[in-house]
Structure 1
């Protein structure tokens, strides 16, 4: 844990050093020094940025929650049952490659420009990756693995707890980790439409007001939000997938 924290601090220090060098070399208002940005962040976070961060985090959490609640059991069902896989795989393969951002105008027309359309976008980005990753993880389990439990008359819950859950969890976490980066990027884009709160709204508003210090402060917070989510996934993986670290 200490080693990981040290590497993050070291990487941040290198990035801030490079940022400072670019700021000094260009000497333009559009690239302020990181010290000025951090000072601005300290001044406005509690009064302004905290609210926008809360809204963005809430949208990500809601989209992720629904994607996991629907995608994970559906992936288990498709991976464990061949009939279900043959029935639903064509729909998943047809819908998954569609760029979700292209559907945003449709969602806004149907659900408005409020919270539903934004959460739905995040949900769609994550859910298909979860379904495919979990299904593939379950399908890769050798059939011989089930024989001891089935011969002992194990219940479906016992099979899930002892076989399906540990086999699918690593790929499930990886799928969420990969989808999270795209979800944050799309969230920034969706928050520029019809939003009064959210980091995307805050950053674009600061840009239009030519307030580059606040704009960069919002970008730093958005990056830290992504880092926090990735770190949380790493902690969950280390906690529930301990066999991978042996």
Structure 2
């Protein structure tokens, strides 16, 4: 396990080095303020992180985590019920099919009218992006479980609680984590857009404010922090998958 962690860490570091080299090459070729050199950006980041960026990063991270936790609280039991009980799926599947394809960003004006322009509308937007991924992934994951997998527990008189604990949870964990991972990138992108409305905090607000002030160094520091937030979230998901889904890790 330790050896694999070192391999993963080395891969992350190599990826970061490659991106920094590509960034430096682009800055050297363009020679314009719109693409500053990486060392200038990181120098500026060190100067303003504690005083200016930390609060924006904290707000963005809180909104993402709150939206994901709300999506898990609603989507996980809903996906389990739809996958295991055919009658529940029969009634709820049409609702999911009708609402899932709707671009969630198109609902932002409605959310702002209903929930205001503050925190709640942004958290609900993240929730809407993630919850459908969870529901569909869990439902399809349960449907893929062979019927004979249930027979030993059924023969012992197991109830749904035992089936849920010993079959449904282990079988759907990979699908569950993958669903969150797939939705994460979209959630971060949409959060950037929503943070340009009705707030003074968040990485989206910070980046757009720096852009309007033609402060490209600070704009790039915001982009770097937003990327690091994504890296942190994906890293946590990989760690969770490595701990909880060891049987499928190679």
Q: TM-score, normalised by structure 1?
A: 0.99
What is the distance in 2 between the residues matched to 1:39 and 1:166?
A: 46
Instruction: Say whether residues 1:72 and 2:72 are aligned partners.
Output: no
What is the distance in 1 between the residues matched to 2:34 and 2:53?
A: 20
How well do the aligned residues superpose, as a CA RMSD in angstroms?
A: 0.7
Structure 2 residue corresponding to 1:8, chosen from 2, 12, 27: 12
What is the distance in 2 between the residues matched to 1:146 and 1:192?
A: 50
Instruction: Say whether residues 1:52 and 2:56 are aligned partners.
Output: yes
What is the distance in 2 between the residues matched to 1:210 and 1:156?
A: 59
Question: Matched residue pairs, number?
Answer: 246
Give the 4+ runs in structure 1 shifted more than 6 A: none
Instruction: Say whether residues 1:240 and 2:249 are aligned partners.
Output: no
Measured after TM superposition, the shift of residue 155 of structure 1 is 2.8
Q: Counterparts of 1:34-53 in structure 2 under 5 Å? A: 34-53=38-57
Instruction: Say whether residues 1:216 and 2:220 are aligned partners.
Output: yes
Structure 1 residues 80-123: Cα deviation after superposition (integer angstroms, max 9, x where no partner): 00000010000000000000000001111111110010000000
What is the distance in 2 between the residues matched to 1:106 and 1:232?
A: 32
Q: Counterparts of 1:1-246 in structure 2 under 5 Å? A: 1-246=5-250
Structure 1 residues 33-63: Cα deviation after superposition (integer angstroms, max 9, x where no partner): 0000000111111111110000000000110
Structure 1 residues 149-184: Cα deviation after superposition (integer angstroms, max 9, x where no partner): 111122322111110001111011001000000000
What is the distance in 1 between the residues matched to 2:69 and 2:158?
A: 30
What is the distance in 1 between the residues matched to 2:53 and 2:157?
A: 56
What is the distance in 1 between the residues matched to 2:222 and 2:29?
A: 23
What is the distance in 2 between the residues matched to 1:141 and 1:11?
A: 36
